[in-house]
Amino acid sequence: MNAKLLKNLAMPIALVAICAFFAFREHAFLGPRNLTQLIVEFSITGTLALGMFMILLTGQIDLSVGSGVGLIGGIAAVLVFQRGWPAPAAMLGAFVAALVLWTLMGALIVRQRIPSFIITLGGLLIFKGLFWLVIQNSTIPVARGDEDNLYSLLTTYYLPARIGLGLAIAVAVALGLIQWRSRAARAAHGLPVPPVADAATRWIVSAAAVVGLVVVCNNFRGIPLSLLILAATAVTVYFLTRHTPFGRYLYAIGGNEEAAVLSGIAVNRVLIGAYALMGVTVALTGFMTTAYSGASTTTVGDLMELDAIAACVIGGTALKGGRGTVWGVIFGALIMTALLNGMTLLAVAPEIKFIARGVVLTLAVWMDVKLGKK
């Protein structure tokens, strides 16, 4: 029991330790302005990590997403700011391109039986080259502050304080209702039901965290639009993986693909679907990353595939597939974002940031291997 409790508390303890270290070194780390900026960065990393989560559940991998983020964001930026397209039309076109590219990549992996590592590694190089061709190795500025430009508003729009607080209260009530329905469903099926005190404590902590987050953000400008995009993505992925046959198939394929085939699961179709959904999250992340950077440049998306993988593995997703949760991925993304944000705030040298990211990724994989043996 103690070992299980320690395992459950490992991520919260790591997050608190990281935040405490950076807050001690730089008091601005916990300021409303920096925390709001951290939330935007967390939303970007978390959205991409949720797509990677569905790929890793099946035992596959995607190394091309970082280059894809740059490419899709670059396509939309060129269409909006050089071709004069309306932002919604340009983003829709880039979104369709991402969906087609990742669906084709998934089909190539499953139809030709080529390891996903090789195909997506090739995709990394191809998408990077296409990205540079699209922007012609130049910088495409993304205008900020234009109320008519949906693209630039993705990371610059904030909900008014009252709306944000009302939304937080609604979310807190919804969390309580979900817990109550879950307890009722378990009781109806004769399954063990956690004590009321435990359920109440979890709800109070969750509700306090949601309301506290909104209060902090309201001290700056309000809840960022990008956080709502992450929340919508997380809810969708949670519903898909926990309450649909498609989600059960993802876990089944990652747990034992041969058994999944013998059970009648259309493995190829499910894998292609997972890569198509990866394309959706790449498009969303590409738009937000480019908007947040203020321009589409050749460095947009660099190493984001590693941050996404690290967030998943830190959150308990197995690289071999079959194990992982949405909330674990969210927590892993928060840890990665806090680490990178803190190092940026302290003006840590780029080479040290590379080393730190590499160490975190290595430790995450090591933990995955250790857990896999138990």
User: Mind listing the pLDDT tens digit for each residue in 208-253?
Assistant: 888 888 888 888 888 999 999 999 999 999 999 998 999 999 999 9
Is the separation of the CB atoms in 311 and 366 below 8 Å? Answer: no
- In DSSP notation, 160-196 reads -HHHHHHHHHHHHHHHHHHHHHHHHHHHHTT-----H
Q: How far is CA 340 from CA 19, 294, 351, in A?
A: 11, 19, 13
How far is it, in rounded angstroms, from Cα 29 to Cα 160?
Answer: 23
Is the separation of the CB atoms in 279 and 102 below 8 Å? Answer: yes
- Helix ranges, 59-141 (H): 65-81, 87-111, 116-135
- Looking at residue 73, its pLDDT comes to 95
- Looking at residue 180, its pLDDT comes to 85
301-334: pLDDT as tens digits: 998 999 999 999 988 898 888 888 998 999 999 9
- Looking at residue 7, its pLDDT comes to 61
CB atoms within 10 A of CB 122: 15
- Looking at residue 108, its pLDDT comes to 94
- Looking at residue 147, its pLDDT comes to 45
Residues of the chain where predicted confidence (pLDDT) is lower than 70: 1-9, 144-148, 368-374
- Looking at residue 6, its pLDDT comes to 56
253: nearest Cα among 60, 120, 66: 60
79-96: pLDDT as tens digits: 998 888 888 999 999 999
- Looking at residue 149, its pLDDT comes to 73
- Looking at residue 199, its pLDDT comes to 78
